[in-house]
Amino acid sequence: MRRRLLAIVLLCCAAAPVAAQEWPSRAIRVIVPLTAGAATDIMARAVFEQVSQQLGQPIIVENRPGAGNTIGMAAVAQAEPDGYTILANSSTHTVSPTTRSKLSFNVLTDLAGVIPLGNMPVVMAVNPKKRYKTLADFVNYARNNPGAINYASAGAGNSSHLNGERFRIAAKFEAVHVPQRGAPEALTEVIAGRLDFYFAPLLNSLTFLNEGSLQALAVSGSQRASALPDVPTTVEAGYPNSEYNFWAGVFVSGKTPPAIKNRLHAEIAKALKSPVLSERMKKLGADPMPMSPAEFDALVKQEIEINGQLVKAAKIEVN
């Protein structure tokens, strides 16, 4: 009996290295739980184009938006843990478990972090025809006109939803949340003047900012965006506890063998350091976020706790 148990243990220990050596032997599918053209989608396609070349295998990116990113998240959480179904998600990954009480999976155990793709500056975008000169102008108007302000998000329970609520609470004004299908639709509504503001990823909004159809009042992250050096952060503008960082990252099923997860991490890290992709990501406005899988998992856990507190304070309920 002891010999038989020892043989089983040795066989299991040998399986992971063999799996890593054989992986990948066929096409890989990357699920993006957002609409095509979203910042995370654009970043993921750029990165996995390079990773595909490195691995010598096709990588197919599939968009599965809806339900605060949880449709795509569930597909990966419930997939075979073999490294052939991968999730590329935004920081909404840490929002969904705090806003949705009936998830069919556990974000912390059924999904495992591989590596962040980058941190993306987010701007508070408004229609320039509103004629706000500063963020203080906007806040003063919102405070003096309760019920008159509304804002867009890329979906109920999306990170842009919490971004808007975090700033609204910090700046102490009322506003009606109007969720949209994705970032392109949210931007369209602000440009058309039907919605008042949207915390938009710089990647999606920079062209409109440059052409003048949108105006950036502030950046929501911890530091200014290099592409918009004259635009202050919300904290610099005078609103403490209003910062909100937006990132994109890669995840796999929680039971994926460590050897495969580590191989995927190494290949993506290598791709991100390549001169061509590094320059491309820089032009997209994405700042590097080098982390090990364990460090990324720790960040996810920490943000879930922080977002849980924000959801309670804002009384956000999404089921």
Are 192 and 126 contained in the same domain? yes
Last residue of a domain, one of 219, 237, 256: 219
226 within domain boundaries:
no
Let me know the angle formed at the C-alpha of 300 by 296 and 303, rounded to the nearest 5 degrees.
135
Are 111 and 52 contained in the same domain? yes
How far, in Å, CA of 5 to CA of 26, rounded?
A: 33
234 within domain boundaries:
no
46 within domain boundaries:
yes
Are 113 and 251 contained in the same domain? yes
Are 129 and 274 contained in the same domain? no
Q: What CATH number is given to the structural domain containing 33?
A: 3.40.190.150
Are 116 and 47 contained in the same domain? yes
227 within domain boundaries:
no
The beta strand positions in the chain, using DSSP E, are: 28-32, 59-63, 85-90, 111-120, 122-126, 150-153, 176-179, 197-201, 215-219, 246-253
C-alpha dihedral sign at 241, 126, 89, 67: positive
- Digit-by-digit pLDDT tens for the chain (319 residues) are 555 544 444 445 444 454 556 899 999 999 999 989 888 999 999 999 999 999 999 999 999 998 889 999 999 999 999 999 999 999 989 988 888 888 999 999 999 999 999 988 899 999 999 999 999 999 999 999 998 999 999 888 888 999 999 999 999 999 999 999 888 899 999 999 999 999 999 888 999 999 999 999 999 988 888 888 999 999 999 999 999 988 999 999 999 999 999 999 999 999 999 999 999 888 887 888 999 999 999 999 999 998 898 888 887 877 6
Judge contact between 99 and 88, C-beta under 8 A: no
pTM passes above 0.85? no
C-alpha dihedral sign at 177, 181, 187, 189: negative
96 within domain boundaries:
yes
103 within domain boundaries:
yes
Between the alpha carbon of residue 313 and those of residues 38, 153, 223, 310, the distances in Å are: 28, 18, 25, 5
The beta strand positions in 22-149, using DSSP E, are: 28-32, 59-63, 85-90, 111-120, 122-126
Are 178 and 144 contained in the same domain? yes
Domain range for 152 is: 122-219
Q: What CATH number is given to the structural domain containing 197?
A: 3.40.190.10
Are 169 and 250 contained in the same domain? no
12 within domain boundaries:
no
How far, in Å, CA of 184 to CA of 276, rounded?
A: 27
Are 106 and 129 contained in the same domain? no
Domain count, the chain: 2
Are 92 and 116 contained in the same domain? yes
